[in-house]
Structure 1
């Protein structure tokens, strides 16, 4: 008995091995005879909803996995078969079920597209998308899910549960097909979509080259089918590239009353690099610092609310809340931000179309922001800088609308007093036009002069300065060359820095022209000083420049053009008490702003 049982077992094992060998040997033949007859193309078409064509009969491989290798695969819309395909791949490797193949069926478990191209077109609404299929199993499942969600939005358990599998891509690209021309958009795409069944969680991870930068995208959802069908579902999205990274974690709905609700993070190492990469125009002197942004986002089709905003501009951190409304003409951003410290120069160049480089060169006007986005922001900062000027307790507003950009500092502490300033830039039909104003009250004139880099003939003491300028132009330089307005200042008791009065009187008396530097080592005590000038077409006409010293009054009159920065002034020292030391002196001031010279005026002699 035992020996008979052993013999039967050996025969059973032998028969099983023989059957396995026969199946392995016959499977390619069976598959090639029963699958090649368009079953693979039919199944792919049934799933995708596109017309599928395969350039050559599939190659069947059994080991290590049972798979069909397809070449020259094209997925085209049924409604326009003669047009360009939606997807064209050099090679597609499909993993198949061996048992299903023996029954003459085709069941996919995974597909790998080698060197595929996804062709997109510009739709009527301006979006760039591939031509969508008119049907297919996926589209039908989405429609079924949409009906289920519409019937019971709160319960999404009865969704289609068809198996899907894994789709991989290597060496792919996305190309724009328009007017007979094909333009690459994204190249070098490698990625994987893993979605076991339509009612299960799914993930997508892909990497590619866009605008010269490697971009990585990761998406995950517990219910992708619900998202496709217009329902709500959890969503995690990450976009990473060297110029910018963006992430979102929360829930989303993309149809009907769609919304986003979750936490968002944005990191930009360089504003200038990110703007150039995105295709936005930036001035070469625009800010190039880094930005970090985190916020809770609550969004729908009409607006986006940014709650609990934490914003970092370089090392300046701010908190607040923002609101973005999608108005008919252009989006509108409003809200308030409070910073511990901020660079007002960066804000000026970010929200108004004028900026000034550190070397003094003028930046050209760029009003692209005002044509894309309306802005109404309230800003505050414990401390701020504007070039070399340091301010504290700053309150400012930024407004951008319909080509008009306005930046106002309504209140700030600086130079021991109070400062108010504003810039208004308007793109008018006949050209850009700018207005600038500054009012500094109860300030230390010496501190203001030091911040402005001025050391000669500077009033040191408490006073007030007012500047109002306006004019046409596309840059600071062109505006100042054509500006009209006024400049005035008044100071109380203090000193006139950068002048040796006794040396000046002696040098004038000696005769011959000389540089102001020769008599700039000293300070003249004064009881007060006044300055008034009108500006017309970029030329300042000094109407009054007077400093009242003990026993003397120093005065200047004349013109100072912005172009060329030359000087054409007459001046003098007039005694205010009889017998004042040095007496009366008159002179001419010429040269340039940076290197003025003085030439004494010799009084005419009476004819004997």
Structure 2
């Protein structure tokens, strides 16, 4: 005969089983009547700050995960009924808490967006960004965090940051479209990834991959305090972009306020500088492939100015170092700085600006549209330099671009046993590009010079000085 203690244990287990069975049976009822119908759209709206609509009848699954599957979900602005949705998804799967469902509450632990379309539109400074929400828990949390940052900008009290749980948002096979003046253009296709952010005061990360400008791109970003960054405070963060034309990464500190700044270590590499500049739409026309480039540098700055210090670079397998300064205060960006190499190929440098249509001697075919995109003041030096068959020693030169005028100078270099100075100038005019070339070669060996120039029968072979100026339309 079992003892009373054993009977109590049997009854306790039996009751627990009955309660579990009743809960399992009751969850679909409560879910379908109290959550799906009345609460999911409201809860999504409460978090996002957008008006949420759901088409069709939601489906509830219990095993292996308590989940609601929604079809035809859209998030729209409350203030503009006629504006296209900020986000729309063919299907949304929401992982829910079963115990919260029995209480009539909605607690999301994860959201999966299937075939979403995200819309971005022009914002300040010409950037394309998603529409800002009008309220919502996340927006209110950011506002509260801003007050914390404002109270102590140098060292905000992390304990006072909002502590609500958030979860994860996964997206698959999505698109990003830009909506400008009533027309739409695809920006990113095949977009998949995840935002993983357990709580608003915890660390968060973003991973995403898709096709941008015809190339497969993957992006990763994370921060131990993303809420501080969103609120305009300073916090550490890392970000990396990987694509066939170029790889870029940054690790350091910064903030994204109106007085934004960043300070850290950046790395950039590309198998072809020309291809990378064309892909990034830096005003460079497509053309012959140039050699690989890589840069590792300390970088600091803000929206008005970026400084690259102690930069170590390799251009076409030739290592060098230098510093760059990029300013955005003028009508066009201004790039200035110095670069020093042990060896540099000047022909490869100029090839970055030459179109594939360029024929030998046709200087008018050199792409000079970059002169309308930025101003440049770059000083270049090299212990050894090559310009085709010409070998230069201790070369000092400059590259300057300003107001439609591009000038490439060799101010001093040793060659042919003497010294040379050279200049190549492009003047952009409505009637066509005007080109001017100058050469001054002093105390050179005539035999070496004429051999390099291919004029062995036309020039004297003794030591002498050559001065040459050519000016006219590029085609002639």
SS of equivalent residue, structure 1 residue 56: strand
SS of equivalent residue, structure 2 residue 325: strand
Give the number of the structure with larger relative contact order, counting CA–CA contacts within 8 Å between residues 6 or more apart: 2
Q: Does structure 2 retain, via aligned residues, the 8 Å contact 1:345–1:355?
A: no
Q: Does structure 1 retain, via aligned residues, the 8 Å contact 2:285–2:355?
A: no
Go from structure 1 to structure 2 and tell me whether the alpha carbon gap of 1:61 and 1:283 turns closer, same or farther (over 3 Å shift): closer
The aligned residue for residue 393 of structure 1 is 394
Q: Does structure 2 retain, via aligned residues, the 8 Å contact 1:425–1:435?
A: yes
Deviation at 1:299, TM superposition (A): 0.5
Go from structure 1 to structure 2 and tell me whether the alpha carbon gap of 1:239 and 1:403 turns closer, same or farther (over 3 Å shift): same
Looking at structure 2, the residues matched to 26 and 356 of structure 1 have their Cα atoms a distance apart, in angstroms, of: 73
The aligned residue for residue 157 of structure 2 is 156
Go from structure 1 to structure 2 and tell me whether the alpha carbon gap of 1:412 and 1:358 turns closer, same or farther (over 3 Å shift): farther
Looking at structure 2, the residues matched to 38 and 195 of structure 1 have their Cα atoms a distance apart, in angstroms, of: 26
The aligned residue for residue 176 of structure 2 is 174
The aligned residue for residue 549 of structure 1 is none
Q: Does structure 2 retain, via aligned residues, the 8 Å contact 1:435–1:469?
A: yes
Go from structure 1 to structure 2 and tell me whether the alpha carbon gap of 1:7 and 1:284 turns closer, same or farther (over 3 Å shift): closer
The aligned residue for residue 222 of structure 1 is 224
Q: Does structure 2 retain, via aligned residues, the 8 Å contact 1:355–1:363?
A: no
Looking at structure 2, the residues matched to 93 and 245 of structure 1 have their Cα atoms a distance apart, in angstroms, of: 33
Unaligned runs of 5+ in 2: none
The aligned residue for residue 72 of structure 1 is 72
The aligned residue for residue 338 of structure 2 is 336
SS of equivalent residue, structure 1 residue 309: strand
- For 1:91-130, what aligned pairs fall within 5 Å after superposition? 91-123=91-123, 125-130=125-130
Looking at structure 1, the residues matched to 42 and 356 of structure 2 have their Cα atoms a distance apart, in angstroms, of: 62
The aligned residue for residue 252 of structure 1 is 254
The aligned residue for residue 470 of structure 1 is 471
Go from structure 1 to structure 2 and tell me whether the alpha carbon gap of 1:355 and 1:335 turns closer, same or farther (over 3 Å shift): farther
Q: Does structure 2 retain, via aligned residues, the 8 Å contact 1:356–1:362?
A: no
Looking at structure 1, the residues matched to 314 and 346 of structure 2 have their Cα atoms a distance apart, in angstroms, of: 14
Looking at structure 2, the residues matched to 247 and 381 of structure 1 have their Cα atoms a distance apart, in angstroms, of: 28
Deviation at 1:274, TM superposition (A): 2.1
SS of equivalent residue, structure 1 residue 231: coil
Deviation at 1:116, TM superposition (A): 0.5
Deviation at 1:272, TM superposition (A): 2.9
Deviation at 1:129, TM superposition (A): 1.8
Q: Does structure 1 retain, via aligned residues, the 8 Å contact 2:337–2:377?
A: yes
Looking at structure 2, the residues matched to 384 and 221 of structure 1 have their Cα atoms a distance apart, in angstroms, of: 44
Deviation at 1:76, TM superposition (A): 0.4
User: Which of 287, 290, 293 is residue 288 of structure 1 equivalent to?
Assistant: 290
The aligned residue for residue 51 of structure 1 is 51
Q: Does structure 2 retain, via aligned residues, the 8 Å contact 1:336–1:377?
A: yes
Q: Does structure 2 retain, via aligned residues, the 8 Å contact 1:285–1:357?
A: no
Q: Does structure 1 retain, via aligned residues, the 8 Å contact 2:328–2:334?
A: yes
Alignment length (residue pairs):
474
Deviation at 1:373, TM superposition (A): 1.4
* 1:299-333 deviation line (CA, Å, top 9, x unaligned): 02331111001121111221111111222211211
Deviation at 1:59, TM superposition (A): 1.0
SS of equivalent residue, structure 1 residue 459: coil
Deviation at 1:90, TM superposition (A): 0.8
Deviation at 1:356, TM superposition (A): 10
Q: Which has the larger radius of gyration?
A: 1
Looking at structure 1, the residues matched to 124 and 343 of structure 2 have their Cα atoms a distance apart, in angstroms, of: 46
Matched, 1:369 2:345: no
User: Which of 194, 198, 201 is residue 200 of structure 2 equivalent to?
Assistant: 198
Deviation at 1:361, TM superposition (A): 5.5
TM (norm. structure 2) is 0.95
Q: Does structure 1 retain, via aligned residues, the 8 Å contact 2:36–2:68?
A: no
Looking at structure 1, the residues matched to 103 and 163 of structure 2 have their Cα atoms a distance apart, in angstroms, of: 23
